[in-house]
Structure formats: C-alpha cells, structure tokens
Chain A
C-alpha cells in the first residue's frame, strides 16, 4: 500500500509564478540608480552619499512608523520606501540641510503615500511631490547649488563672476552665459540636483531597467523624444535640453513609476508626450527654470483620465456575436 498524503496544500491555479515580485522590481530600480549615485559622489563628494543615505533612512523610517501608527502590516520589505528615498535624494541639491530632506521624506512617504492607503494607492508620485513641496517651500536652500572643481569650466568661470549663484546649466542658458559642452553635460560634470547631473549614468540605469523588463520603454522614449522635438521647434539645442536639469531622471525613474502612470502602452506614450510638452512649456515660458517635476505631477493627475480613454478593447467580435 502506498503512503498516503491527505493534507496537501490546496490553492488556486496558477501554481507557478513568474520570478519578478514587488521587492525584486524595487531592488532592480535601486541597482539602476547606483551609477548616477556614483557620478554624484564623484562630482559632489561624500556628502552626496550622506544625503542619499539620510533620505533612504528617513523614508524607510517614516514608512515603518506610519504603518505602525495605523496598526497595519509592515511594508518596508518591499523596498518601495527605499526607492522613493533615493529618488527624492537625487532631486535635492547636495548641501540641503538634513532636516529639510527629512521634511521632504515625511511628505513623500506619509502625506502622499501612506495617507492614501500605502503602496499602489497614491495618485501622485511621492518623490515628485516631495521635491515640489521642498522646491516651493524652501525655495532658496533648494536653489543653493554647490560648485566643485570637477565641474565644467563654463560653470567655474560663471561662478567666478558671481560666486553666490553657482548657476545650473539651465540658469546659465537662461542668462545667456556660455554653457558647458554637450559632452560635459552628458557625462554630468555640471551642477544641479544631486542625482540628475549625469545623463550617461541615468541612461545606463534606464537600459538596465529596460533589459530587465522592469520598465517599458514607452514613457522614457516618448518623453525624451518630445523634449528633443520641441527643443528643435523652439530653436534650442536638443542634446543640451535632454541632458540639462531633471529630464533624464524624470523620464527614466519618476515618470515610469507604475502606480502613477497609465497602465497600457498607448496610455504610457500619451503620458510621456504630455510630460515632454509641459516640461518644455515650463522651461521656456514659466518663471521656474525647470518643469520636469511639475509636468510629471500634472500627468500623474491626468493618468486616471488617460487610463479611462486608453482601455484595451476586450477580445470579442465587434457585433457581439460570433464573427466569421
């Protein structure tokens, strides 16, 4: 008589699952952010690393604390808070006081995410809102750029003229001053927010994410292409516009946030184009030099409508009956 097993696990099919899970996806995003972090530490020095660690720690701490206060399950294991922290850090100037960064983390994690029920239920990207509130709330510390000797000659000479500004390439361009060469822009030998300076490093991370199928190329490609096309329309240098400011960071890491972007490919393309259009409109016309985060936030808010209009059509015959 064979040995009997009568207490087997009964669960619904499918009984196999794909290897990707939320934590592994978030881990991939963290890995993809490493090159940009490395460039940032190279250009700005060790404080870049300290500020990043500070943001990650605060975000994870706030996530843990808010879940605990709400008596809900602990979710720091899904690493989403760490990703938010690192991306938020990338959006900050390197000398921002730690307590201000903590305020940003508080807004990102508690106000934008946990108040709305936690991961997957927020309608706006936490890091974006964190950045915008800091940007508006702490306007001057958030524009307090740091000059280091590793930066482009154009920035160093501009700083000699007016040591207080330490202007970003976008600000130099707005003021009609010489800007860094495209190569310097691409590599990231410029100043700006900590993690957004190096287009090369961010692209490397983006390629990693696309290869690992973590993100679909729809949003970054349509976003970047729109920025490039509109630069030409406005008579600007597309390479400069793509590498300057937060376009790369925004297109690859913030606009692609699953939760706050459309779910279908068509929707994602519309989303990317919208981000590009608003970014360029704000850059060219508004009083803020940079519009990436506002553009992404606006598209986040439009996402439910995009989702509504780009729903897949169910696989069924048009007339409702069987088609021949």
Chain B
C-alpha cells in the first residue's frame, strides 16, 4: 500500500514516532531533556540534519555504490551535523554549551542513519524530505514534551518560566538520571496504551530502524537482526 504524502509526513509524529515507538535516539533524548529549551533545541537540530540528510541521500541514492553506502551516509550526515554545530556555536552559544557533546553525537543518532537506510535510500526526494520533516517533528515533540515534564516536576518551571517553583517544592530527582529513565518509560507506556499495544510490537522488532541492522548479519539475540 502506497502511502500518501500526508501519511508520510504524519507517520513519524505518533504512529511511528522514532523515540517512543521505534525506540531510537534514546541517548540524547534522555540526556538533554532536563530543560524544555534544550529539548526543543535538540529537536530542531535533529529535524534539520534529518531532513537535509534525507534529501541528500535520496538524491544521491543512484550514485552511491551499495557496498560502501553506510560510510557514505555517515559522511553526509556528519557534514550536516558539523554545519548545525557551527551554526549553533555562532548564533546560540548558550544552547550549544547546554547540549555539549550531544550535538556531534547526532551523527550516531540512530534515527538519522536509520531513516537514511530504511527510507531515504528507497524513496523519492520529496517523500524523503517529508519523512525527514515528519520524523523530525515527532522527535522534537517527544524531546520537548519529555523535557517539559521533567523541568516542571524537577525544577517547577517550563522554558525557564516559573510555574510551580516557590509554591511547591520541586522534586529535583526528575532532572537527574533516574527521572529521565522513568519519564521516558512512562511516555512509552502511554504510547503503548494509546496504540493498544501496536507500538510495542514495533519496539520488539528493533531492526525496523536500527542502523546496526545494516552492518549486522547475525542474530545478537532473539529479536536482534533480521534480513
């Protein structure tokens, strides 16, 4: 069944949300979601890199030889990441500082390589762009929502604006590592609940988006690599 353009765009927002359904890009999401602004910043950075690299890879898909496609994808992605990194450094130095090492790590963010391998290398430039935007929005929304929850509970603010701070003692553990894992787990459970378990089936089938699937020929565990 061929998807319409709109479906491609909205696919990534809920139904195949890269973070909550495909469980990709967990590391930066967990790490930077302590403040809503960081979540948004990270989300937009990923959105930009994802869309650009999707377009580029889709455009180059006939030129890139199959055997070395992964290194090529990496070079493309790394170039865009470097651009974003330099742009942030120049125009939003405080955000760059807050996101720190996680900006260069966008290179190994499984979402981007995963979409390159799973979608952009097989679809038209327009479709790939829409997919990139959709997935990027899905990622941005998730990172921002998660960051908002953690910031509200852990510091009593949202985007730095006081909400409950001062009236209710903030539960600071929410902005620490355990809070990150916990809120993430709860959000995934929420999506499971909303999609009545359909999301979970996709979570189990890790290979759907795992870039490792491209390299990996053997089963690491059950539910490891297929194809």
Contacts and interface: CB of A to CB of B under 8 A. Distances in A.
Do A and B have CB atoms closer than 8 angstroms in the complex? yes
A141 B169 contact: yes
A133 B173 contact: yes
A136 B169 contact: no
B194 to A, nearest CB: 16
A125 B23 CA distance: 28
A138 B182 contact: no
Contacts of A137: 171-174
A137 B150 CA distance: 12
Residue among B169, B172, B174, B178 having the largest count of chain A Cβ atoms under 10 Å: B169
A103 B171 CA distance: 10
B176 interface: yes
Contacts of B176: 136
Interface in B133-188: 169, 171-174, 176, 178, 182
Contacts of B182: 111
Nearest to B154: A137
A14 B215 CA distance: 56
Nearest to B178: A133
A139 interface: yes
B172 to A, nearest CB: 5
Contacts of B178: 133
Interface residues of A, number: 10
A8 to B, nearest CB: 44
A100 B169 contact: yes
Nearest to B175: A137
B46 to A, nearest CB: 29
Query: Range of interface residues on chain B?
Result: under 10
Contacts of B169: 100, 138, 140-141
A128 B174 CA distance: 17
Contact of B171 (A111, A138, A140): A138
B171 A139 contact: no
Contacts of B174: 137
Interface in A113-155: 133, 136-141
Contacts of A111: 182
A100 B178 CA distance: 18
Nearest to B182: A111
Interface string A95-112: 000001001000000010
A138 B179 CA distance: 13
A141 B169 CA distance: 9
B177 to A, nearest CB: 10
Contacts of A138: 169, 171-172
A89 B105 CA distance: 44
A103 B154 CA distance: 13
Interface in B4-57: none
A19 B169 CA distance: 47
Nearest to B172: A137
Nearest to B185: A115
A128 to B, nearest CB: 13
Contacts of A141: 169
A256 B59 CA distance: 63
Nearest to A137: B173
Contacts of A136: 172-173, 176
Nearest to A97: B169
Nearest to B171: A137
Nearest to B189: A115
Contacts of B172: 136-139
Interface of A: 100, 103, 111, 133, 136-141
8 contacts: A111-B182, A136-B172, A136-B173, A137-B171, A137-B172, A137-B173, A138-B171, A138-B172
Interface of B: 169, 171-174, 176, 178, 182
The 7 A-B pairs of least Cβ separation, nearest first, read A137-B173, A137-B171, A136-B173, A133-B173, A137-B172, A138-B169, A141-B169
Given A136-B172, A137-B174, A141-B169, 13 more contacts: A103-B171, A111-B182, A133-B173, A133-B178, A136-B173, A136-B176, A137-B171, A137-B172, A137-B173, A138-B169, A138-B171, A138-B172, A139-B172
